[in-house]
Structure 1
Amino acid sequence: MTSEVKQHWEDRYAERDRIWSGRVNRWLAEVAASEKPGRALDLGCGEGGDTVWLAEHGWQVLGVDISDTALGRAAAEVATRGLADRVQFVQMNLSEAFPEGTFDLVSAQFLQSMVHLDRERIFAAAARAVAPGGVLVIVDHGAAPPWAPEHIREHVFPGVEEVLATVDLGDGQWQRVRAERVERDAMGPDGQQAVLIDNLIVLRRL
């Protein structure tokens, strides 16, 4: 399974020299800006937009992704910005393995996939990885963007409570900081303007 999933993402990143914008995800920046910088774990870090932003704002960051291509691009960006002392990258299939240790911030930004992705396993491990006082930040697409292919636009995305139900928090005590449907302005690949719907979940381990 790993080889098939990995190949899917390698093929995806091979389509263009850059897939993502390189900018930090809005909701992560909003949450992290109010936290004291510490250790951060960026799950599905892709080409490193969030990882770079966190490092530039004082965090020590571990970025994890299944794609060697994506991680190579992320590492190059980190080196260009002189942030190598703040960032590590690990290639890993999160459906089958998970980084060791605890973190003050664990981020899962749009960890959704058309190929196999064991979100329940990943979210359970992500919750266990949050240090006392730290936060778990999960952001999901709540609806498809208007420029997405028809089969994706017709897909019914889970709501906030449905996503929360998949997060196994174990026996730990948690504060629900935010759990809501949010909107953001976005621009499509051909310059289209749209308001997109996201699910934003922020949980703090007490």
Structure 2
Amino acid sequence: MSQHEHEHGTAQQPAVTRESYDELYRSAPAVWTGRPNRQLVVEATDLPPGRALDAGAGEGGDALWLASRGWRVTAVDFSPVALERGAVKAAELELADRIDWVHEDLDVWTPPEGSYDLVTAHYLHATWTDRSRMFRGLAAAVAPGGTLLVVGHQHGDGWGHGHAHAHEAGALYTADDVAAVLEPGEWRDVVTETRDRDHAAAERTGNPVPDTVLVARRSGTR
């Protein structure tokens, strides 16, 4: 039900339905660059490896990067085409034993509570039946002492989208929207902010819209 927005390898207009995501992936040997998302690198480089959930894994750029750094990753996406592509790449990189590729729709699937030292979700583009429920589920999946990272496109007056990234308004959210579902007292070091996109990524995708970023640590220790 979701999609990473790694930098485009081809100038495609992103799909907005489950079926059209599969069509998008079939349209090219690789839709995204395969590199990890910038904010994941910023936030996770110094974290000790553990168990990670990549929600909306797409072709697996983030999952592969985490696995290469010693994480055990559960990569979830609603596109079997994308997941198969990620699994092939993981095998090529000898990372297959570190990533579980899970075909599920985040609109209905709930991850196990308290199971992950890192839960990361980038650019989840869909209009969910209950978006707050989905974010609560991702937050609940973070283990004590773990990290929640949610990144989306900033939206509001003055923020346009290039033709290749025209998303429905209902598919966008802010870091504050995510923070609003976190239970008070269960989280520390909650950061919600807007960050400039990587300049090269903005040029490749035709999307200069800044990132809206939530980073939060669950109380307790790992």
1:47 aligns with 2:62: no
Counterparts in 2 of 1:122-201, with a 5 A limit? 122-143=134-155, 146-149=161-164, 152=167, 155=169, 157-165=172-180, 168-170=181-183, 173-187=186-200, 191=204, 195-201=208-214
Pair 190,80 (structure 1): closer, same or farther in 2 beyond 3 Å: same
Would the aligned equivalents of 2:195 and 2:212 in 1 still touch at CA under 8 Å? yes
When normalised by structure 1's length, the TM-score is: 0.84
Amino acid at match of 2:179: L
> Take 1:192 and 1:125, find their aligned partners in 2: how far apart are those partners?
30
2:82 is aligned, of 60, 70, 82, to: 70
- 2:93 counterpart residue number: 81
2:117 is aligned, of 84, 89, 104, to: 104
Pair 172,10 (structure 1): closer, same or farther in 2 beyond 3 Å: farther
Pair 159,96 (structure 1): closer, same or farther in 2 beyond 3 Å: closer
Which structure's relative contact order is higher, taking Cα pairs within 8 Å and 6+ residues apart? 2
Of 57-66 and 96-105, more deviation after overlay is shown by 96-105
Q: Could you give the per-residue CA deviations for residues 8-38 of structure 1, whole angstroms, max 9, x where no partner exists?
A: 3212222222111111001011111121100
Amino acid at match of 1:130: V
Deviation at 1:59, TM superposition (A): 0.4
Q: Could you give the per-residue CA deviations for residues 135-158 of structure 1, whole angstroms, max 9, x where no partner exists?
A: 100000114675335854x95854
Q: Give 3-state SS (helix, strand or coil) of 1:169's partner.
A: coil
For these two proteins, the number of residue pairs brought into alignment is 200
> Take 2:160 and 2:29, find their aligned partners in 1: how far apart are those partners?
22
Deviation at 1:177, TM superposition (A): 3.8
Q: Give 3-state SS (helix, strand or coil) of 2:196's partner.
A: strand
Would the aligned equivalents of 2:55 and 2:75 in 1 still touch at CA under 8 Å? yes
Pair 117,35 (structure 1): closer, same or farther in 2 beyond 3 Å: farther
Of 186-195 and 118-127, more deviation after overlay is shown by 186-195
Of 135-144 and 115-124, more deviation after overlay is shown by 115-124
Unaligned runs of 5+ in 2: 2-15
Pair 25,188 (structure 1): closer, same or farther in 2 beyond 3 Å: closer
Q: What's the % identity of the aligned pairs?
A: 38
> Take 1:192 and 1:172, find their aligned partners in 2: how far apart are those partners?
39
> Take 1:47 and 1:119, find their aligned partners in 2: how far apart are those partners?
23
More strand, by proportion: 1
Cα-Cα RMSD: 2.8
> Take 2:20 and 2:206, find their aligned partners in 1: how far apart are those partners?
29
Amino acid at match of 1:202: V
- 1:202 counterpart residue number: 215
